[in-house]
Structure 1
Amino acid sequence: MTQPLPHVVIVGGGFAGLWAARALRTAPVRITLLDRGNHHLFQPLLYQVATAGLSAPDIAAPLRQILRRQENVEVRMATVSRIDADARQVEIEDATGGQRLDFDYLMLASGVTHDYFGNEQWAAHAPGLKTLDDALDLRRKLLLAFERAEAETDPDERDAWLSFAIIGGGPTGVELAGTLSEIARHTLSGEFRNIDPARARVRLVEAGPRVLSSFPDDLSRKARAQLEKLGVEVHTGVPVEEITAEGYRRGEEFVRARTVVWAAGVAASPLAQCLGVPLDRAGRVKVQPDLSVPGHPCIFVAGDLAAIDRADGRPVPGVAPAAKQMGRHVARTILARLDGREGTHFRYRDYGNLATIGRMAAVVDLGAWRFSGMLAWWFWLLAHLFFLVGFRNRIVVLLNWSVAYWTHQRAARIILGGDDRSDTK
């Protein structure tokens, strides 16, 4: 009688999940890849969809298409509602209802979501950016703000519609602020009759002492200088204490801004709580050195959901290269277990840190090499083109970026759904 193949369940079709599935393509296992969506998303360029530079399909690809030639993988569009670690079962909900899946090995890579630090009421007024739905909603909100300003007759209300605030000075916040300032000053130039879009005020608000805190001090200072050159007002050192439909409060000052974007914090997927193991302050799982869950050697956590330190004591960052490395490591560990061997410890290889600020402006930290400005921008562009999944995506993104570079135009400035004023109230 033929023994059934070991069943590997992967939760999440992001960088960690997809790279793990690919690394097991020749393994004698049966893989089920679960994701709430049907696509793999290249998150580093998500802000470009939000700011109308790219369309959703440019940075995403269907998981079934990516894995169509890998016969040992079944892709299922489903939501994982619970994990029973002791019984080795995953409870899912899909179009057919609820179901339990048995597993021999489980990799949990369901990522993170927005964290408003206990102020969940802010979410209604300051949307975040983690999914394609988030990006499309934010694009609509940003573009509608200029339309509302154009139609407004009250000068104070018009100024409020032309006031934008990005909360959080990490890479996402910096990229959003720089791009939004470019849209106001260049892309929309000459298109309105009652307003001058260049009068829009874009504020980047960071509670810490500097933007891009994960970068060295000198690159952080250069990033701030490049942002200010683009017209972004950078405010650091004082946290936001209140966000409403009218604006935000920072210290004693209330700033009117009808468009506020949240880019300040993340919280782990609530699935981590099902495992009954120690979590860090952000809700991430404190994994073993091989990325397994304490007490459950056949369950692994990878990507943004895993909390693990490097050899020097610093945490492994929640970035795409780390997630890919974790996914491949889990696959290698599963292969070792199948051969009766023990896996090795995960070692993160830091290939550098990149952030773009705007047209011909970026910062790059490669350890021994640090640079900014035009050279850094070209490096960032080529790196992101290289790591995009799919030849079509690379070609389309390159064409869109080329057009935007020479014309300042953005290819996806279509507002869908009409002018529902409840969206921005």
Structure 2
Amino acid sequence: MTSNEHVPHVVVLGAGFAGASALMELAHANVQVTVIDQHPYNTFRPLLYQVATGGLNPGDITYPLRHLSARNNARYRRAKVTGIDEERRQVLVDNGSPIDYDYVIIGIGSTTNHFGVPGAAEHSMSMYTRADALRVRDAIFGGLEKIAGESETGTGRFNVIVVGGGATGVEMAGAIAELKHAMLTPTFPELNPSEVNVILVEMTDSLLAPFDPSLQKYALRQLIQRGVDVRLKTAIAEVAKDHVRLKGDSTIRADLVVWAAGVAGYRELADWGLPTGKGGRVIIGDDLQVRDHDRLYAVGDTAINPDAPLPQLAPPAMQMGTHAARQIVRRTRGLPTEPFQYHDKGILATIGNRSAVVQLAGGIKITGTLAWIAWVALHLWFLLGGRNRVETLINLAYRYVIWPRQTGAIIGDVARPPSQS
């Protein structure tokens, strides 16, 4: 490389599953890389519900972006992206000067989709960020402390409503139910477990929509056995401070509503001048390039190919991040881009201790303890950082194996549940 040779600059927006995969793929290419994220850490989102129910510390599932960037020959800029100036080829940020680019990979993820339900944004809690998980955790333990103080009057009651029967909703409802049975009696002897209710509301007629019907039925049975009140074919009409109103005008008292019903793209993507489609996601072509926008690629939950939509899950995001990085490297070498092909290796979800569902691409279906072990192993494998893997393994073993009926939950501050705030 001569001193006057231009080295292409790739700017990666967001360091989630897709952005981190792109970053690692570009590590040994002849390019400069800058990753921009407003959070100084990568979050392993599939385990956020464990943080929210006191099973893991937030540090167990987060990894410093400065370390990740340095390991992969990149620079990190902590900032929020405010736009992309394609004429000047600059990424605009709220912290510091604009960043010049040759190529951009947009992987900022997605945010909670409330589907226009009145009051949902104001009176429910999401499970999409580390801060979200901590708020939910503090509200859960705040609610338990509150009804413990009301035990002598007999007025104690804590209703947690989980909205959405996908993997996040099922895992969250199962974890709260197990938390109730495992720790309530030894930790809150003044409480009766019947005073804590977990209600899972799903508008369709089944849980875990992408899974085989036999696995859906297994998940339903397991949740019911754990004491979860599962209400299928039930739609939310409104979320209020202390109750939810269902379509049909019946109501359920709610001390805490956890919204896990779906995700959508960030509204500002359209303000950046990018084409957006279903769910506010950026429209891309077969090679993951943003439609009609040269040098811009979109990956993961941020993107959608209308001709071949993919589920908003970690595996597609990781493969898309890697593929987009490879296409940029091909272009720097004067080679044409290649279409993206998703390799589906299977999906999995856990319901609780020794209970999970695994559906492999070849049609193999696994349930129970073996599926749960596979779920634990896969999540440990994809966690960033050896220390995080060890700490997560220890905490999960403590929760589910060593003392599964006397779990000492990891808590922080307690907060008033939304119904009392």
TM (normalized to structure 2)?
Answer: 0.94
Could you give the per-residue CA deviations for residues 199-219 of structure 1, whole angstroms, max 9, x where no partner exists? 421110001111111111111
> By how many angstroms is 1:246 displaced?
1.0
Distance 1:78 1:218 in 2: 46
**Residue in structure 2 matched with residue 93 of structure 1 by the alignment:** 94
**Residue in structure 1 matched with residue 221 of structure 2 by the alignment:** 225
Q: Does 1:341 align with 2:339?
A: no
3-state secondary structure, aligned to 2:294 = strand
Residue 196 of structure 1 aligns with an amino acid whose one-letter code is N
Distance 1:401 1:372 in 2: 19
Distance 1:412 1:68 in 2: 34
Of residues 198-207 and 145-154 in structure 1, the stretch that sits farther from structure 2 once superposed is: 145-154
**Residue in structure 2 matched with residue 151 of structure 1 by the alignment:** 149
The 5 Å alignment of 1:224-373 reads: 224-250=220-246, 251-308=248-305, 315-367=309-361, 368-373=363-368
3-state secondary structure, aligned to 2:315 = helix
> By how many angstroms is 1:298 displaced?
0.7
Taking structure 1 as reference, are residues 103 and 360 closer, same or farther at Cα in structure 2, changes over 3 Å only?
A: same
Paired residues of 1:83 and 1:274 also in contact (CA < 8 A):
no
Distance 2:312 2:420 in 1: 31
**Residue in structure 2 matched with residue 376 of structure 1 by the alignment:** 371
**Residue in structure 2 matched with residue 137 of structure 1 by the alignment:** 135
Distance 2:132 2:83 in 1: 25
Of residues 79-88 and 29-38 in structure 1, the stretch that sits farther from structure 2 once superposed is: 79-88
Residue 120 of structure 2: which of 104, 116, 122 is its match? Answer: 122
Residue 389 of structure 1 aligns with an amino acid whose one-letter code is L
Q: Does 1:77 align with 2:78?
A: yes
Distance 1:189 1:232 in 2: 18
Distance 2:60 2:117 in 1: 34
Distance 1:401 1:422 in 2: 28
**Residue in structure 2 matched with residue 11 of structure 1 by the alignment:** 13
**Residue in structure 2 matched with residue 213 of structure 1 by the alignment:** 209
Residue 195 of structure 1: which of 170, 176, 191 is its match? Answer: 191
> By how many angstroms is 1:424 displaced?
4.3
Q: Does 1:55 align with 2:57?
A: yes
Moved over 4 A (4+): 153-157, 409-412, 418-424
Distance 2:344 2:354 in 1: 25
Paired residues of 2:142 and 2:417 also in contact (CA < 8 A):
no
Paired residues of 2:139 and 2:417 also in contact (CA < 8 A):
no
Taking structure 1 as reference, are residues 70 and 192 closer, same or farther at Cα in structure 2, changes over 3 Å only?
A: closer
Paired residues of 2:38 and 2:78 also in contact (CA < 8 A):
yes
> By how many angstroms is 1:361 displaced?
0.8
**Residue in structure 2 matched with residue 404 of structure 1 by the alignment:** 399
* Percent identity for Structure 1 against Structure 2: 37
Paired residues of 1:58 and 1:397 also in contact (CA < 8 A):
yes
**Residue in structure 1 matched with residue 388 of structure 2 by the alignment:** 393
Paired residues of 1:184 and 1:198 also in contact (CA < 8 A):
no
TM (normalized to structure 1)?
Answer: 0.93
> By how many angstroms is 1:25 displaced?
1.0
Distance 1:248 1:12 in 2: 34
In the alignment, structure 1 segments of 5+ residues that lack a partner are: none
Taking structure 1 as reference, are residues 305 and 410 closer, same or farther at Cα in structure 2, changes over 3 Å only?
A: farther
3-state secondary structure, aligned to 1:68 = helix
Aligned length: 415
Distance 2:419 2:75 in 1: 38
Taking structure 1 as reference, are residues 107 and 423 closer, same or farther at Cα in structure 2, changes over 3 Å only?
A: farther
Paired residues of 1:143 and 1:413 also in contact (CA < 8 A):
no
In the alignment, structure 2 segments of 5+ residues that lack a partner are: none
Q: Aligned Cα RMSD in Å?
A: 1.9
Distance 1:307 1:422 in 2: 35
Residue 91 of structure 2 aligns with an amino acid whose one-letter code is V
Taking structure 1 as reference, are residues 423 and 105 closer, same or farther at Cα in structure 2, changes over 3 Å only?
A: farther
Taking structure 1 as reference, are residues 148 and 99 closer, same or farther at Cα in structure 2, changes over 3 Å only?
A: same
